[in-house]
Amino acid sequence: MTRDEKMIFIEEIISTVMKHPIKITENMSLIDIGLDSLDIVELQLAYEDKIGRELSNADQSVRTVGELLDILI
C-alpha cells in the first residue's frame, strides 16, 4: 500500500469515527482531530484487518497523522 493509499484509508476511518467527512494532513494532531487513544488503536486494528497481518510496532506512541502513516507498513 502506498503512502497516499494509507492516507486515504486513514481519512476514511477517521471520517467514520467522527461521523462526518474530514480532510486530514500529515502534520495534524490526532488529539486535535478529536481521536483518543482507543480510537487510534481501533484505527490500527482496522488497518491490520485490511492488510491481513499484525503491526509489529503498533505499541509506540502516535500523536500525528504522519506518525500513524509511518507505523502502517
Residue with cell 476511518: 13
What is the number of domains present in the chain?
Answer: 1
Closest among 53, 55, 59 to 72, alpha carbons compared: 55
What letter does residue 33 receive in the DSSP assignment? H
Residue range 21-62, pLDDT digits in tens: 888 999 999 888 888 878 878 877 888 888 888 876 555 677
Is 1 in contact with 51 (CB distance < 8 Å)?
yes
Q: What are the beta bridge partners of residue 64?
A: 29
- More reliable by pLDDT, 71 or 27: 27
Q: What angle do CA 40, 44, 17 make, to 5 degrees?
A: 50
Residue range of the domain that includes 22 = 3-71
The pLDDT value recorded for residue 27 is 94
Residue range 5-14, pLDDT digits in tens: 989 988 988 8
Q: Which CATH number goes with the domain that contains 62?
A: 1.10.1200.10
- More reliable by pLDDT, 26 or 73: 26
Query: Would the CA dihedral through 49, 66, 21, 41 be positive or negative?
Result: positive
